[in-house]
Amino acid sequence: MREKLEIGEAISDAVQHIRMSWKLLLINYLFMLGIGLITTAYTVSVFTGDIEALLYTGYKSPFELMIKSFLMILPFMIVIGLISVCIQAMYIKIIDDTIEKRQLSYKEQFVFVLRKLGKMIFAGVMVLIPVILMYLLMFRTITNMYYGSFAPFFLMLLIMLAYAMMLTFINQSIITEEVSAFQAIKNSFSVVSHNFFRLLFTFIGYGILTLIIGTILKDTSVVVVVIKAIIDAFLSLYAIVFITTLYKQVSKKPYQDNECELEYYEEN
């Protein structure tokens, strides 16, 4: 097993993987986009009516209005979050199949991802707990801040960013390997810890690229907005493909059409 990631190799390989599987990637994007638009349209209509009813019947305080509004929109936030997870997981599965040269239909890939969804959610909840605790510490630091005390806040911010980096490969591990949520988190930490600065500089470069594109395409005309949306969608796709390609470089047990994987499809 290789421990060091080859960034340059992954950059070129990711482009090749997108070229080989662009049809499935496009189908996934359009399918998930359609679900997202339908969900958004339905939620906005329902939410608008509920807010109007709440305003009409009255409320005791602005805080009560805020809480009730949040509870109204919470199901929508959960659905959108699940769609986002599915989009990323489907991209990972499509690229994993491309690398391993599996001939699977989109339906088979989608079923596979749905079976892994619970594990990804469980892993997400586990890694979210430390984030919540760090946010609370940061909030307390801000409320108690006095002149010259910015250093603790800045330190906690760096810790949170480093922690986020350590979680980079969790979904890649869950989708491409038969591992538990705990093992997926451990795998991600292991890979990042051996390649921390390589990944750090790569992510900084990606951030600078997106910033430059945003600066160039800052016009609000319809044409520019559409172009920027297309570029942003491609960059998001490329980032997932790139990260998946990186993980496959060091994956201990890449799938090779073994029995563990085939059992997902035999039932269909």
Chain segment 99-120, per-residue pLDDT in tens = 999 999 999 999 999 999 999 9
| Mean pLDDT confidence for 40-63 | 64
pLDDT at position 99: 95
Of 244, 268, 216, 254, the closest CA to residue 91 belongs to: 244
Which is higher by pLDDT, 44 or 179?
179
| Mean pLDDT confidence for 86-105 | 94
Nearby residues of 192 by Cβ (< 8 Å), 6 or more positions away: 165, 166, 168, 169, 199
Q: Are 187 and 173 in contact (CB under 8 A)?
A: yes
Structure tokens at 101: 């040269």
Which is higher by pLDDT, 65 or 214?
214
pLDDT tens readout for residues 121-170? 999 999 988 888 877 776 666 656 554 556 677 777 888 889 999 999 99
Q: Is the pLDDT of residue 32 over 90?
A: no
Give the whole-angstrom CA distance, residue 165 versus residue 131: 12
| Mean pLDDT confidence for 92-97 | 96
Q: Give 191's pLDDT tier (boundaries 50, 70, 90).
A: very high
DSSP line for 176-193: HS---HHHHHHHHHHHHH
pLDDT at position 252: 55
